Amino acid sequence: MRNFKKFLYGLFFVIIPFVYVVGFITWGYFVSNNAIEESVTDILSILGISYFLGSIFWYFNMDRIEKVSNQIQEESK
């Protein structure tokens, strides 16, 4: 995989949160019968906390991510 870091970053900060937001709002609105505004404010609060914690995790593991990315690039050559 050529751009493992970009893929991992996109997965961690874009794709997974998007799927989580859509699923949570759908569940809250259709299954739990909450107002859509309540579901959106709940998920945005949770998403803000998860982005903060995810950024801390990302910062402290950047060296490992770099090593794995380099290994994958060397193996693919």
CA 43 to chain centre: 13
Assess contact for 25 and 40: CB atoms under 8 A. yes
**% the chain with pLDDT above 90:** 42
Q: Which pLDDT value is given to residue 20?
A: 93
pLDDT of 59 strictly over 80: yes
**For 20-56, what is each residue's pLDDT tens digit?**
999 999 998 889 998 999 989 999 999 999 999 999 9
Q: Which pLDDT value is given to residue 44?
A: 92
Q: Which residues contact 8 (CB under 8 A, 6 or more apart)?
A: 65, 69
Assess contact for 1 and 65: CB atoms under 8 A. no
pTM: 0.74
